[in-house]
Amino acid sequence: MSGYSGYARVRLLDELSVVSHRYVASYALFNQAVADHLGLHPTDLQCLNLLTLEPGPVTTGRVAQLTGLTTGSATRLVDRLERAGYVRRERDAADRRKVLVATVPERIAEFRRMWERLGGDRSALFEGLEEEELAAIVGHMRRTVQFSGEQVARLRSGRVRDPGNGGPEGSVSARPGRTP
């Protein structure tokens, strides 16, 4: 348990909220700059990141799951990544009816080298931290990924109430031209 209580804890939680918002915004801007540099859309870049974490080639349906896109949009995303040379489509050896999306190793190696040039030695960010502190960061990031996934699902299902619209729980205010 922490040594913080009362006011000090509230201040730290407030600071964490502000820093978290700044972190998300700075990462979005960084992601946009990297995507621009590579001639990709930011969503394409994030998909490419996610594909490098998969154990092997995936279906376009899996790309849709990873990105939250419809299968049609995922197909167009794969088309763009294929034109850029980062992925290729190949037949599944076990089921020739299936088409898999595979990353192109040479292009992924270039992609990783670019990240290394940008990030330098990212492990330097964690120098001086004890194993318990690193474990706390990893735990926080895992919980954040889980929480974000749950919130994305809520938003996409329309289960987010907009208190300003006076509607029942589960109602949403959609953006113009969009339906919940």
> What is the DSSP annotation of the chain?
--S--HHHHHHHHHHHHHHHHHHHHHHHHHHHHHHHHHT--HHHHHHHHHHHHSSS-EEHHHHHHHHT--HHHHHHHHHHHHHTTSEEEEE-SS-TT-EEEEE-HHHHHHHHHHHHHHH--GGGGGTT--HHHHHHHHHHHHHHHHHHHHHHHHHHHT----GGG-PPTT---PPTT---
User: Which structural domain range is residue 140 located in?
Assistant: 127-161
For the chain, residues with pLDDT lower than 70 are 1-4, 120, 162-180
Residue 142 lies in a domain: yes
Mean of the per-residue pLDDT values for the chain?
A: 87
pLDDT at 166: 56
Calculate helix-pair angle for 105-119, 42-53, nearest 10 degrees: 110
Does residue 112 sit within a domain?
Answer: no
Q: Which residues, 6+ apart, have CB-to-CB distance to 112 below 8 Å?
A: 52
Residue whose C-alpha is closest to residue 84's, from 64, 57, 111: 111
Domain total of the chain = 1
**140 belongs to a structural domain:** yes
Q: What's the confidence (pLDDT) of residue 21?
A: 95
Taking the C-alpha atoms of residue 48 and residue 15, their distance in angstroms, rounded to an integer, is 32
Residue 17 lies in a domain: no
Tell me whether residue 132 is in a domain: yes
pLDDT value of position 159: 83
pLDDT for residue 179: 44
At residue 180, the pLDDT reads: 42
Q: Half-sphere exposure of residue 62, counting CA atoms within 13 Å on the CB side?
A: 15
pLDDT of residue 106: 95
Residue 51 domain-assigned? no
In a domain? residue 84: no
The predicted pLDDT at position 28 comes to 94
